[in-house]
Amino acid sequence: MKISTNIVAGAAGALLLNVIHELARKNIKDAPRVNELGEEGVVKISEAMGVKPPTGNKLYASTLAYDFVGNAFYYSAVGKGKSKNIWLRGLGLGLTAGIGAIALPKKIGLDDQPVNHSKLTQVLTVAWYTLGGLAAAAAAELLKESPSNGESE
């Protein structure tokens, strides 16, 4: 698949993930608060770079943008390799991202409570990242070129 197609597929997965996170955090008591992790990360990175971190709506918006771009590039890997494995790659990328989202924050110096405050929160975190990976796979499947147009199977 072309790089641009992979990025579009990745963006589809990232978009679905962000929409789910935003809707759920406003409506489900034990929903993961990935935005809080992201905001803490933006503040720490800004401070480490000697830059005044954004606050309020600017912090929220920049975190959402960084999260979208990072996830889009991550999920864009779904289109690399043989087309017959797109769905397995989407599943694997999603599961890996979800497990990483609950396992890594504390290890990198972030408060892990937003994704680990209950078993339901952990399950939802993994489930939503997995849905993002599968959405990227679905988009890649829809966007892939036909074999006659040069795609390698």
Whether 80 is covered by a domain: the verdict is yes
What lies within 8 Å, CB to CB, of 107 at 6+ separation is none
Whether 153 is covered by a domain: the verdict is no
Question: Residue 48: which domain range?
Answer: 3-145
pLDDT for position 145: 63
Whether 115 is covered by a domain: the verdict is yes
pLDDT for position 152: 45
pLDDT for position 55: 95
Dist CA 117 CA 106 (whole Å): 13
Whether 150 is covered by a domain: the verdict is no
Integer angstrom CA distances of residue 29 from 43, 114, 126: 25, 12, 17
C-beta separation of 102 from 115 below 8 A: yes
pLDDT for position 1: 64
How many domains in the chain? 1
pLDDT for position 146: 45
Of 115, 136, 129, nearest to 33 by C-alpha is 115
Whether 38 is covered by a domain: the verdict is yes
Dist CA 118 CA 131 (whole Å): 20
pLDDT for position 2: 80
Whether 30 is covered by a domain: the verdict is yes
Q: Which residues of the chain are under the pLDDT cut of 50?
A: 146, 148-153
Structure tokens that stand for 93 in this block: 């990328």
In terms of residues, how long is the chain?
153
Whether 151 is covered by a domain: the verdict is no
Structure tokens that stand for 126 in this block: 């993994």
Whether 31 is covered by a domain: the verdict is yes
